[in-house]
Structure 1
């Protein structure tokens, strides 16, 4: 790759964007371990641990101060229900079995396996290769596992709520809806709640909360739809008295409500803020009902996460885990609250918080290996976009103690995927990789992101490729006026839906960007609409419009159709096993830009899906992206 005419590609280690750093791409990737599906069962703490160095996810157990890998050799724990998975294991405690047993979804074949850690016995419970499972929920009284089942049949995909017995038997509990999410049992096993919805609704636009009574063998004897309107329910659970509780955004934010059998609902004491992100995955718990009417609540205010105990009757509040700014997967053993948390110095940690004293112990996870003088801290970005509407994000100035800034730095814009997702003010080693080299980074929560209420989240309805792009361009203007960046040296990157925002930004602001990167990004929304998976089959219509009545929008907002307007060099990264954004999207976009004489480079990975997981590939992405940008500084 040669530098553009008039610019020099000669190395200058003092120029922001070319700073030398010992924090390598490999180090940034290796430091990005993550955890999910945290739960308390059988006197132990359990979780799934993603290990970038191996590119796999393993089940871990923590008991009596020691952690132990539980997953048998040759197996990885990961669900691909709805492609985004979640709820990939559950525990059947030893108090009701001869030994504790774990049911988990194996990544390779998506079948449920039953594993006994004590005896190392392993057997397959589900045996249909066309089915996938997720959202696992233990029903130990009946020796079975509840799960969301995804059946890939000729010409169609069906979803059901099923019970899989430990003897391999299978019982369908519900199959009339298009989608199912988050099955939860009451402590006595007599009640079952779940979320369901039908097309064209989405899990964060409009869903139903279902409440059922189970008979002795576990069949549904009665069921009812909890009264609701234009709202999205998520994360149902039962308190110790058997009362059904759930998050819903009927008040404008996802907050907890208590729902009575007669249909009445009472909002529980909580802040007017989102207590959960959009439910892309199964099994995410961001709040919890505890004993004596206490609630463990996490919520987001201005993009920053908070955690507290809140009494459901007196409204007394006790703030917890000061210094952390994101909280996920809350669970409790009655003595302590556990969660997966993150902070500006730590990308992911497992915390134990004593319920009586609030004392905090970190069980897993390390602070950044970078010294404080080298660590870029997130600064809240609040600015005005098109029409005077507010947009959000986080700004990271360049930081490297071995370098001194003598000029305004280049800017790298991160556009997150989803697009109904969010970024958080926590340690992201990818961002530190860039700030170490003299780039300023802005991580955008453009309008349409979660964490700022239902109205902000709904702002992308019909506006994808316009509203998000307006926020990108407005961020550049805002930071340029503040003198924080060199507005003539701006780069932009995005993955999945963020790749689409990136490419659309190159069309709307053709002179604003030096270079860009699209990671498994959308380039033709109409083509994506025709081939994408069922979970997102109606998402494009919600984001852009009905192609039958508004076909012009799909031409105007298609980077592929508008490829001749892109003059910015672009590097593409694509997994060839991607079932969400098919490789053909990237192939066609690369060919179109190449035909138009635009500098373009494509990197593909034969064994990667949607979202790269192998350490070598993640390292290669950072290294090649850096080299590409530096050629255009």
Structure 2
């Protein structure tokens, strides 16, 4: 369907047009990912919305201008498990650095030497062979192999399916492999050596400092990694792993990350007590000893959605980790004293990807008043009775945001629901000059539903949310049951209750804000993408709370979102969320938006990428068609399909068109705020 020309119909409270536009939001840089340190330099990836590529950036010293590494034709990334994995490694190599990275265009692993200038001083050369016909390969989470002559990484190999309907799990294998840095494997595929095999899914490979052992995370269908996963350790003999054994996890315990402290000891996050807390693991013989060294009713880790994602780092000064209690805190834990020191206190969110060495760690941080930025944490170990020290430096200057006061600062709130659960959410009040609304009229409300569903809201400056709040809309982002950051029991509220708990929690937030006099109950909409799109559709089908909705690349029919109808990583996820077919078919049909399309009686916009392999276009198309055929007032206000876009929009033009479609819908249905 042709994209509509952008229009700016939604006016804010008061007089004058709002200055934050869909085009301005779309033009801002995309997500910052995978920060790391190498010597004095700090590196990270950033999405380029204009070119629809991911660029690699480097800051040689804090305060110096950031430099784009590699040329314009290169895009650093991979599609491991559908959501990607750590795509690059920087290692010292004489006076220069050797960069090893995956190129998203051809999926191969490349190498280049980088000097002090703004670009690679030699053209990148391939380290791995081109994919043969009928095979797609992804390399992720590279580390330096023992001896320095190889890079070790997770290799994902998928035999393609021309028909597009066969189960991806039997067609997909994952191995830990060794790739020679000499480049010989580029023309000799057999030169890539398998180091270890264990599970269907692999992540977080870590070589011990003495090079004698390898640790990694693995899990198998039907578990998701936050349900149950294994920390594996094996000895390295003759360039391969021998005697691999599980040392932590399994049997309903999730281990998202592990890092070595020395050749015989490693730290790991695990949740045997219901919270992702720090454990010390000492592999020994046929078994292992583990103890929780930082017990707390708080989450110190993350749901593992990307291969190699991290949330803590082991340094000479202690363990740097993040703690979540709604907001996030960056803390340094001293293993000798048990003391916790909070760092970077002005920041409230720290993205996955903490990475570094004994002396420095890089993180991506954000706050309610600042967009995400890379930070370099320089650490000094305790010495002569003095405590460990740390300094925090920005790698980019403070953002000179011309929209300034038009951004809304979120407020953390909770609402109590059935069962005594407290549902957290972020309330963004209407803001911006002249857009606070008349005193005798409540503002319209947008309930924002995050994806995942094993994800979480972030209380940080959001250009998308500010687009709406600057026009006079209030926004509430809900951490419904199933969200991370609140322990396993809260995550497990969603087990076999998807489409029920998430909807009820979203409705509870909308009603609580209306009762508090902060939102107009007659002008309340819902928006979400992916799993959030499912919740938005289910809310429109099963409640009468929302007057309209915006739906991005959703699941609409749970009976066909499994096996060959989605990607390998989530091809069994529905069994946790709703149950096993055919015996649980009644539950599937009871909550399915597609099965209840005739109950959707309010307008909505549907926005779908045509290259989406996770939530395929037929999920959106069938729902739109069913609503249009059903009797009654329900209708799709606008359905836009975007060629070249997948699960999550990358191009600035796509983002702007989608946001404009939302604004048009809200203006028509809810009127001027």
TM-score by length of 1: 0.93
Residue 302 (structure 2) aligns with: 277
In structure 2, C-alpha distance between the alignment counterparts of 1:12 and 1:214, rounded to whole Å: 62
Residue 345 (structure 1) aligns with: 369
- 1:624 to 2:630 alignment: no
Shift of 1:450: 0.4
1:41-440 superposed matches below 5 A = 41-64=38-61, 65-95=64-94, 99-118=96-115, 119-129=121-131, 130=135, 131-139=137-145, 141-153=147-159, 156-166=171-181, 167-168=184-185, 169-215=191-237, 217-228=238-249, 229-240=251-262, 242-262=264-284, 263-269=288-294, 271-291=296-316, 294-301=318-325, 303-328=326-351, 329-356=353-380, 357-364=389-396, 366-367=398-399, 369=401, 373-406=405-438, 407-440=441-474
In structure 2, C-alpha distance between the alignment counterparts of 1:388 and 1:50, rounded to whole Å: 41
In structure 2, C-alpha distance between the alignment counterparts of 1:630 and 1:82, rounded to whole Å: 39
In structure 2, C-alpha distance between the alignment counterparts of 1:105 and 1:536, rounded to whole Å: 23
Alpha-carbon contact 1:502-1:516 (below 8 Å) kept: yes
In structure 1, C-alpha distance between the alignment counterparts of 2:536 and 2:47, rounded to whole Å: 28
Alpha-carbon contact 1:142-1:218 (below 8 Å) kept: no
Worse-superposed segment, 373-382 or 453-462: 373-382
In structure 1, C-alpha distance between the alignment counterparts of 2:486 and 2:471, rounded to whole Å: 32
User: What does the per-residue CA deviation read over 1:190-219, in whole Å, with 9 as the maximum and x for residues that have no partner?
Assistant: 22100011111111100111011113x421
Alpha-carbon contact 2:598-2:634 (below 8 Å) kept: no
Worse-superposed segment, 531-540 or 221-230: 221-230
Q: 1:148 to 1:396 in 2, by over 3 A?
A: same
User: What does the per-residue CA deviation read over 1:276-299, in whole Å, with 9 as the maximum and x for residues that have no partner?
Assistant: 22010122221111115x111211
Shift of 1:453: 0.7
Residue 634 (structure 2) aligns with: 598
In structure 2, C-alpha distance between the alignment counterparts of 1:365 and 1:248, rounded to whole Å: 36
Secondary structure in 1 matching 2:298: coil
Shift of 1:42: 4.6
Alpha-carbon contact 1:148-1:159 (below 8 Å) kept: yes
Q: Residue 477 of structure 1: which of 508, 511, 516 is its match?
A: 511
Residue 4 (structure 1) aligns with: none
Alpha-carbon contact 1:79-1:105 (below 8 Å) kept: yes
Shift of 1:368: 6.5
Secondary structure in 1 matching 2:498: coil
Q: Residue 517 of structure 1: which of 550, 554, 571 is its match?
A: 550
Shift of 1:99: 4.9
In structure 1, C-alpha distance between the alignment counterparts of 2:21 and 2:33, rounded to whole Å: 26
User: What does the per-residue CA deviation read over 1:223-260, in whole Å, with 9 as the maximum and x for residues that have no partner?
Assistant: 22114442000111101455111110112111111111
User: What does the per-residue CA deviation read over 1:10-42, in whole Å, with 9 as the maximum and x for residues that have no partner?
Assistant: 9795648x9721111122222343211111225
Residue 545 (structure 1) aligns with: 579
In structure 1, C-alpha distance between the alignment counterparts of 2:144 and 2:397, rounded to whole Å: 28
User: What does the per-residue CA deviation read over 1:52-85, in whole Å, with 9 as the maximum and x for residues that have no partner?
Assistant: 2332111122214343222233110111011101
In structure 1, C-alpha distance between the alignment counterparts of 2:10 and 2:313, rounded to whole Å: 53
Shift of 1:141: 2.0
Secondary structure in 2 matching 1:594: helix
Shift of 1:176: 3.9
Secondary structure in 1 matching 2:419: helix
In structure 1, C-alpha distance between the alignment counterparts of 2:298 and 2:551, rounded to whole Å: 32
Worse-superposed segment, 409-418 or 262-271: 262-271
User: What does the per-residue CA deviation read over 1:542-567, in whole Å, with 9 as the maximum and x for residues that have no partner?
Assistant: 10011211111121121111101110
Q: 1:12 to 1:31 in 2, by over 3 A?
A: closer
Alpha-carbon contact 1:244-1:260 (below 8 Å) kept: yes
In structure 1, C-alpha distance between the alignment counterparts of 2:437 and 2:580, rounded to whole Å: 49
In structure 2, C-alpha distance between the alignment counterparts of 1:253 and 1:437, rounded to whole Å: 40
In structure 2, C-alpha distance between the alignment counterparts of 1:584 and 1:162, rounded to whole Å: 36
Shift of 1:150: 1.4
Alpha-carbon contact 1:240-1:291 (below 8 Å) kept: no
In structure 2, C-alpha distance between the alignment counterparts of 1:67 and 1:296, rounded to whole Å: 25
Shift of 1:457: 1.1
Segments of 5+ residues of structure 2 without an aligned counterpart are 1-7, 116-120, 161-165, 186-190, 381-388
Residue 5 (structure 1) aligns with: none
Shift of 1:402: 2.4
Shift of 1:508: 1.8
In structure 1, C-alpha distance between the alignment counterparts of 2:301 and 2:222, rounded to whole Å: 22
In structure 1, C-alpha distance between the alignment counterparts of 2:242 and 2:66, rounded to whole Å: 41
Secondary structure in 2 matching 1:535: coil
Residue 7 (structure 1) aligns with: none
Alpha-carbon contact 1:345-1:367 (below 8 Å) kept: no
**Relative CO higher for 1 or 2, CA cutoff 8 Å, sep ≥ 6?**
2
In structure 1, C-alpha distance between the alignment counterparts of 2:569 and 2:73, rounded to whole Å: 29
Paired positions, count = 617
User: What does the per-residue CA deviation read over 1:423-443, in whole Å, with 9 as the maximum and x for residues that have no partner?
Assistant: 110111100000000000001
Worse-superposed segment, 147-156 or 386-395: 147-156
In structure 2, C-alpha distance between the alignment counterparts of 1:163 and 1:241, rounded to whole Å: 20
1:576-591 superposed matches below 5 A = 576-591=610-625
Residue 188 (structure 2) aligns with: none
Alpha-carbon contact 1:385-1:471 (below 8 Å) kept: yes
In structure 2, C-alpha distance between the alignment counterparts of 1:490 and 1:174, rounded to whole Å: 53
Segments of 5+ residues of structure 1 without an aligned counterpart are 1-9
Worse-superposed segment, 320-329 or 443-452: 320-329
